[in-house]
Structure 1
Amino acid sequence: MGKWPKPPEGSWTEHYPELGTGPISFRDSISPEFYELEREAVFKRAWLNVGRVEDVPRVGSYLTKDIAAARASVIVVRGKDEQIRGFYNICRHRGNKLVWNDFPNEEVSGTCRQFTCKYHGWRYGLSGELTFVQQAGEFFDLDPSRHGLKPVNCDVWNGFIFINFDPEPRWSLREFLGPMITALDDYPFELMTERYEFEAHNNSNWKIFADAFQEYYHVPALHSQQVPSAVRRPNATFECGHFQIDGPHRLVSTAGTRRWLLPPEHMYPVERATRSGLVGPWRTPETHFSAGLNPGGIEPWGITNFQIFPNLEILIYHGWYLLYRYWPTSYNTHKFEAYTAFHPARTVRERIEHEVASVVLKEFALQDAGMLGGTQEALEYGLDEPIVDEFPLSDQEILVRHLHKVVVDWVEQYRAERRAEPRSERKPVGV
């Protein structure tokens, strides 16, 4: 058989020649050794989103976040000066985990005036300072000013709280996000405070699940019950409207309306009854203007998915948004966090519309998640020498190509920096 024709000149991928157009490898998703390097090169150097300012709404509000890829737990707290700070969740006396409730491996949130260690009663103020030591006279030249909580770099962009484990980050948060993301400076995320959250522990590398939301090439096959019948015909066109790349970050926009234009027989009965579903409530507040919301100028615009490296996605719809985070827990497992965010419901009907949209979206995500185990298992066949190690990508899969290239590039840069270090200064990978 002959080759299929290549995409036309000027295709999306060819706008970014540094990506190439050849097959790619997924070894970065099946190697324990690569994962250890990725933890150091990516998750200990990039800015990571851990919440929003609404999660710590008043002085003394705090949350904890356990990040397996960094082998660390952090406390995020709003201080008396209203500044939001991050600290390692470690008591400076004997290393006990400082903030937890019934089970130390569970994340918690709340409000307090100070943090008190359960073990020996050391206390810390909201700015991390050591304020009380039980029987301080028993210690030898103890200087309280040197034993406050160890800080983690913390900054906020448009209400989203980010941390960075690098003691000296290579970029400020704003520099890291770059112009494509900060074009959303004026988008009013703070108005959408009614949230519906869910979490899943998945049997795949984190990038394998992220890949599922970077292209819609899979939609007619995998989500066949949620798309018009015309799209399911062989070779029917189903494409995104706009792809864009800026540094390590990615963006994809689709055309659409406030509801899929499906015949009633292809909707769940609850969607027909509530007039809400996969793309949210059919009636929502008018889309807020933002210069960055629809950079491709798609009409009618439907969704823009902002994929912030490494593990955050914000999908903005008409008057509401959806957020995903992928937290690696090993080379072939990860924790998936998601929530939908709406304007607070004014009536019982609006509340039901929001809940229905959230449940239908969860079902859609479960269909994607259902592929993960099979993909990971097959990629790991012949782990040291994969049976298949070259995978062709279509033009619509440009963002899949980009994510894996960026991760490999960050790891290669980290390796080069380690090679340049004097041997005496190197620390073992994974420490």
Structure 2
Amino acid sequence: MAVTWPKPPEGSWTEHYPDLGTGPISFKDSTSPEFYKLEGEAIFKRAWLNVGRVEDVPRVGSYFTKEIEIALASVIVVKGRGESIRAFHNICRHRGNKLMWNDYPKEEVKGSCRQFTCKYHGWRYGLDGALTFVQQQGEFFDLDNADYGLSPVHCDVWNGFIFINLDREPRQTLREFLGPMVTGMDGYPFDKLTERYEWVADNNSNWKIFADAFQEYYHVPSLHPQQVPPEVRVPNAGFTCAHFQIDGPHRVVSTAGTRRWLLPPEYMYPIELATQSGLVGPWRTPDLGELPAGLNPGGIEPWGISNFQIFPNIEILIYGGWYLLYRYWPTSHNTHRFEAFTYFSPARNVRERIEHEVASVVLKEFALQDAGMLGGTQAALETGVIDEFPLNDQEILVRHLHKSVVDWVEDYQRDTATAGV
């Protein structure tokens, strides 16, 4: 069965966004330790960051911690009374001990409690962050508990996704930050897709280098040839995505698609045929009802996938009846931690559970194929031999991510220079 890939509107995608330019770009933002430090201040301490979902704090007292190394931050996210979700810096106000941790202070923890108690001197804090108990309080000098509650972190929720902002005064509300393209997903039943599979990988590349791999499908015929239809594998077949769109620092790429079971058997793993599940998820998914038009902003038919890339470090890939979530957490100028999650409607029987597990495993295999390129890319970039790289029209979102990062850093530098005058 032949596949006809939709063409972009008149003119190239990149030319629709003239601020991006069309010349070669530099990747120095991915090799410089100095730039990495600036990213921490300019982006990860200023942007809204997704750290979890409401399912991670299912009841009053449920909490988890998040280590954000690039921002030198450790954060507690907790559900308090009244179903409110709050965030605090993970620091005791007495002597600065990390408040919630187990054997290794750099490892994230989760659990449930009625209050937070510091292991060092026993200070206690309520779920609202208020200081409730001080050991031998009479020994202190005019200590007012109201002055020593946990240090709050701005926290908000969009469609069940928990976001924090480490800035003292965020420049935008969460919804303003997300903008109309991302909030076009409003109405998608994220709350119904609660069966989750997850894995984490520490990678030897800058975080943006891995994000780049999911912003274009130009690499698919070369890197994933065993799992794409023959018309895509033919050189110069013209395989491309059907729709690219940019809104502020955020991006979306949508692809057309054929149903997996219409492909020849030789383009599937045997387990995919046996379980009727794999690269594009289960072949059968529950009917979720009418989906919001914002999932397919280009009006593609047949629609396959839309990948919403929320600045700076989260991607939500909607496959219709299920979705993927990726997060990239920088750990140095040339390493990062990659978190991946698959979300499905809860399995109603053993077969559906197997379908979900197979889809998760096959998707992990393909993500690792992408990750396998990263070390080579990072090592070559760090030689500094070449500093200008041409990008084609399908790599518009790669161009946009790196420009957005540089723009945020330059804005920060201007702000700090002005403040210093």
Q: Under TM normalisation by the shorter chain, which class is it? A: over 0.9
Q: Distance in 1 between matches of 2:52 and 2:31?
A: 29
> How many residues in Structure 1 have an aligned counterpart in Structure 2?
413
Q: Deviations over 1:77-104 (max 9, x none)?
A: 0111211000000000111100012222
Map Cα deviations across residues 30-70 of structure 1 (whole Å, 9 max, x no partner).
00111111110000000000000110011111010000011
- Equivalent residue in structure 2 for 1:409, among 395, 402, 407: 407
Match of 1:173 in 2: 174
CA contact (8 A) 1:260 1:279 kept: no
In 2, Cα distance between equivalents of 1:113 and 1:258: 49
Conservation of the 8 A alpha-carbon contact between 2:189 and 2:288: no
- Name the structure 1 match of 2:317: 315
Measure the CA separation in 2 of the matches of 1:305 and 1:85. Answer: 28
The secondary structure found in structure 2 opposite 1:421 is helix
Segments of structure 1 that go 5 or more residues without pairing to the other structure are 1-6, 424-431
**8 Å CA contact retained: 2:261, 2:283:** no
What does the per-residue CA deviation read over 1:250-297, in whole Å, with 9 as the maximum and x for residues that have no partner? Answer: 000011144264211221110010000000000012354112111100
CA displacement at 1:249 relative to structure 2: 0.2
Q: CA separation in 2, counterparts of 1:9 and 1:291? A: 23
RMSD: 1.2
CA distances 1:356-385 after superposition (whole Å, capped 9, x unpaired): 00000000000000000000000000xxxx
1:348 equivalenced with 2:350 (yes/no): yes
**Aligned-residue offset at 1:9:** 5.7
Aligned residue for 1:360, secondary structure, equals: helix
Q: 3-state DSSP class of the match of 2:260?
A: coil
Q: Which residue of 2 aligns with 1:145?
A: 146
- After superposition, give the CA deviation of every residue in 1:183-221 in whole Å (9 maximum; x if it has no partner): 111111000000000000000000000000000000000
Q: Which amino acid aligns with 1:278?
A: L
Distance, in Å, in 2 between the alignment partners of 1:148 and 1:127 is 9
> What one-letter code is carried by the residue in structure 2 that aligns with 1:380?
E
Q: Please tell me whether the aligned partners of residues 285 and 318 of structure 1 are also in contact (alpha carbons under 8 angstroms).
A: no
2:294 counterpart SS class? coil
- Aligned residue number for residue 238 of structure 1: 239
Are 1:204 and 1:376, in contact at CA under 8 Å, matched by a contact in 2?
yes
Amino acid corresponding to residue 331 of structure 2 in structure 1: T
Kindly report which structure 2 residues correspond to 1:239-388, keeping only aligned pairs within 5 A, or say none: 239-259=240-260, 261-288=262-289, 289-381=291-383, 386-388=384-386
Structure 2, unmatched stretches of 5+, are: 1-7
Query: Structure 1 246/8 Cα, relative in aligned 2: closer, same or farther at 3 Å?
Result: closer
For 1:342 and 1:256, the matched residues in 2 are separated by 20
TM-score (norm 2): 0.96
In the aligned structure 1, how far is the partner of 2:261 from the partner of 2:374? 26
Q: Secondary structure at the match of 2:375?
A: helix
* Alignment-derived partner of residue 96 in structure 1: 97
CA contact (8 A) 2:57 2:78 kept: yes
Taking every aligned residue pair, what percent have the same amino acid on both sides?
A: 78
In the TM superposition, structure 1's runs of 4+ consecutive aligned residues that sit over 4 Å from their partners are none
Q: TM-score scaled by structure 1? A: 0.94
Which AA in structure 2 matches 1:136? Answer: Q
1:68 equivalent to 2:69? Answer: yes
Q: Contact (CA 8 Å) 1:280, 1:354: kept in 2 or not?
A: yes
